[in-house]
Chain A
Amino acid sequence: MIQAGLGGALDEARLRGLFAEVYRGNPRLQEPDYLDWQFRRSPWNAAGDFTLLASTEAGHLGALLGYVPLRVRAGHQVVEGCWTLTWHSFRKDASALALQSELGRRYDVRLHVGNSPDATRIYEALRIPCQPRMPRWVALLDVTGASRLDPAPADLTRLREGSARLALLESSDEVMSLTRFDPDREYCPPWPAITSYVLRTGTYLNWRYMDIPRHAYQALVGPEGQFAVFRTEEIRGWPSEPADAGSWKALRILEWCFDDAHAPAAMAQVLAQARLERCLLADFFCTSHIPGASLERLGFVPEGAMEKPLPALFRPLHVGFPYCSALDLPPHREVRTLDFDAWYITKGDNDLDRVKL
């Protein structure tokens, strides 16, 4: 039997216990206010019930699938869709797949981002277009600490050159920091070639970045609604612990939607904050190469062109997960091609940027 939301054998306390068992490195998933934010308070969850499907049989749980309802701009139309998250099978049968089928009855567009290898194999078998690794752009912000990241020599040269260019950027009064997005405004990527993305209304952005418990995001906005969102994160878990390890941070840029006219000023403001917090490196992940190209013009380096990836996880230091994206739009179950460059999906989408232990 498939049930939607909590109820019966699956109450909130049991759900937290299951998450504690399955997602041990994700303490946020055991916190009632975080679960409330993730599964109940998202802007297009009109019913206000937990957006969760569970497969049960005689009181025993077979599988779980969480989702977040969305509006997706896909080309010239806006359609209902969802992110899938916390997909887990407790049994070796088809109950997890049955939950995906059920979700397919509810949403024609499903965005699966940050998939496990098992999930990726299933999506590939269903002929869903997959991008195996979300492209990443990196920048070195403090050349004195570069050796701690152990870059390849050729990469270090490029990173140093970029760092010198980033240091020359100047801020402008046209780019402002803000604490709330305008709920009546839609914020759009400024590049005409990007036609598809999760609709970023001010209400959505406030929910995603400003109302999320215990995550400290900062935002900038330009004169025509260009915007960026970023946070800083303490770097922990160095292979050999330097004496000042605790004081280094990484700058994570989750949204970058500034056109070339305003990008230098916006980045100058982001970097001013990063310097205050002693950030060693910055990064940005996006399915499309177009925003990354904008960052390259400022001094970022595409990781795909580097000899060796820089760490992407800092607790502990690790090159990290590839963040496979599978975007399932109709016609389902047919071989489809998808232009991932037209899709603005970032590490701010879905639950990829959930702070872990």
Chain B
Amino acid sequence: MRERLKQILANVLGLPVGTIPDDAAPTNLPEWDSLRHLLVILAVEEAFGRQFPESQLGELTSLPLLLAALETLP
């Protein structure tokens, strides 16, 4: 799942997948801004066929947080 998330991040942020670290976040990837954050969320939802609660959208701000949220979704 982690590698799939990295691929999604790479696609949305326009970066080579090899440059996406395990702790990818807006703080270490300047390309990850507000709009792209939303695009990341939507791409993850589409890829995994799940939908995050609206209240979580602003909080899933790193690869580990996205991973954890995906694992807890029903």
Contacts and interface: CB of A to CB of B under 8 A. Distances in A.
Interface stretch (A97-105, A268-276, A293-301): A97-105
Given A104-B54, A126-B38, A93 B61 contact: yes
Most B CB atoms within 10 A — which of A100, A122, A333?
A: A333
B66 to A, nearest CB: 11
A117 to B, nearest CB: 10
Most A CB atoms within 10 A — which of B39, B58, B61?
A: B58
Interface in A86-118: 89, 91-102, 104-105, 118
| Interface bin, chain B | 20 to 34
B54 A94 contact: no
A93 B13 CA distance: 13
Nearest to B39: A125
Given A97-B38, A125-B38, A126-B38, A92 B55 contact: no
B33 A92 contact: yes
Contacts of A99: 58
B67 interface: no
A148 interface: no
| Interface bin, chain A | 20 to 34
B58 A97 contact: yes
A98 B55 CA distance: 8
Interface in B1-47: 26-27, 30, 32-35, 37-39, 42
Interface of B: 26-27, 30, 32-35, 37-39, 42, 51, 54-61
